[in-house]
A and B are shown apart, each in its own frame.
Chain A
Amino acid sequence: MSTTVSATASPPSPSVKTSRRKSLTSSPLIRYIIVRFLLIIPTVFILVTMVFIIMRVVGDPITAALGGRLSPEQLAERIHKAGYDRPIAVQYFEYIGQVFTGNFGKSITDGRPISAIIVTYGGATLELAIYALIVALLVGIPLGMVAAYFRDRWPDAILRIFAILWYATPVFFVGLLLKLVFAVWLNILPVAGRASTRTELDLDSLPHPTGIYLIDAIQLGDPAAIGDVLQHAVLPGLALGFLTAGIFLRLVRTNVIGTLSMDYVDAARSRGVSEFRLVRKHAFKPALIPVITVIGLQIALLLGGAVLTETTFEWRGLGFQLVQYLGSRDFVAVQGIVAVLAVIVAVTNFIVDIIAALIDPRVRY
């Protein structure tokens, strides 16, 4: 940093041009990364604060969770022990301090530390999200290019109607339909869960389970277990993946059509480059930049969709667990899980922005 600052400051007027070019190639990217990284802090801070406020509007978490089940004296004692009778500001600062040290407290209903809950179930959600992203990219991008290539002709019309249909179908209804067709009527795939009971027992007996069943099954080295895990993943992966695939399709189509009307594509066309090659080589890459940015925004959507998909398929991940805790009004657990999800979303968006900046210099500021 310091070298570029001195380089722009010291030279006399004739060499200003060269020094500016130098700083454009090296420092702005680093500056952008730093600025963008610093922006994560207020984002996470605001979200954590918001969750805290919303959660405390209801009252203290102990009464919310155990209200009808304990006598008023027992409740008061537990509230005092947990410190919920202190001023709200004190509690808030204590909570913020805990969050920044990675301590999210213990759930009220089952007494487990939030960090342990996240480690145990986070892997399952991550696994599901990765399957979904793979499905979305494999389906959405090629079909989007096809739609752009056949713009306004029947393949485009059919694909666009499909994309809108995918978008219009809630992920849990897609899940129910897939279940009905493939698990009940055709009976070729399991109805729900992440693995059959036997495989789950085998996987739990591993010395270092990762929580990501596919990796665990490979660790186990049992082909039957790998097959079982993959079979269970097909329907949830498809359900969640289709949700995003439709968005990618529309996005790729719009952007490829946009870039196809650029001058350089016209130039290539006039050189005799085939229309197919134009779409695949010339218009595709610049059209990918917005797609990368949108993948970042999709992480938030995927996490929301994961809550629904996990409930549909009884996929015991973070979303499934979150719904359980919400149902039992365990707001300490909810607060912790939501805070962690906020951090995940903020960090992914940061990474995606950096990738976008690396690819496209215009993004940097």
Chain B
Amino acid sequence: MTDLSLGGRTRVDRDRLLRLLQDYGVHLGVAVLLLVNIAITPHFLSAENFRTQAVQVAPVLIVALGMALAIGSEGVDLSVGSVMALSTSLLSLYLGYGMWIALLVAVLGGAAVGVANGALIAFIGVQPIVATLALMVAGRGLAQVLLPQLKDVHDPTMASLGSGDLLGVPYLVLIAVALALLVAFVVRRTTFGRQLLAIGDSRPAARLAGLPVRRVLILVYVCSGALAAVAGVLATARLTASDPTSLGNLMELSAITAVVVGGTPLSGGRVRVGGTVAGAVLIQLLTATLIKHDVSPSWTQIAQAVVIILAVYAARERGKR
């Protein structure tokens, strides 16, 4: 770095380097962690290990996809953890009608929370952080009213969804990948995606350009709620139990971390789906590495904090430009 710090010519190089780091730093981080682990962690390259890591990261990743949309619209969705809890409660309650009906009800429940979030934000003008905080508290409460305590889920289809695989790839991972591709497609190719970015970048301009600002905002939070509900269903399937008290606790923070580390600016106007995936994977690998080497959980959290600060620092440099 020292040779880059002097002169006007090198200034340009430094800017470009910084921008590259902002855009691809997270991928670089994942690569470095992989190499380090291959070198120092025994049995890291085993299929079993990869499987475990991927299955663990899948729910976080799915929630983070919705969070990326909310943050891209210059908002945030704090209710995602509670939506997971709500969806596991609904799933348990309706499992008697058959798994597919229960699944549908759970996802609709998540979407309904999204409608409430979106309506508060778009029509009443409540700040996203406050509106979704309200739904975060209410959603967890409702989940516990519906299902007061932990309940085992005995359903063969659910069990196979949680632990089965296709050609060695767990269903959970397949679903997460499919949803990531879907969200990437929506952001890039649909009018909704384009309008979402415009609204996140400059709301006054979007409004004067006649965009359906309210409709788009509501749809954003519906997507986020529905994705969180799917994550709740998958987590339930993996644990073969519904626990509305603890499922999804602090999930909103993990999701925001993945999005921010992935390079999506909190100021809106940009959604990086690939970065979000890499961000979730990065945090997962970091945690796993430290645990494997018997580093205490407190240090794991501190390491996560360092990664977040690095990501925010990079974003700050971008904001100054």
The yes or no verdict on A and B being binding partners is no
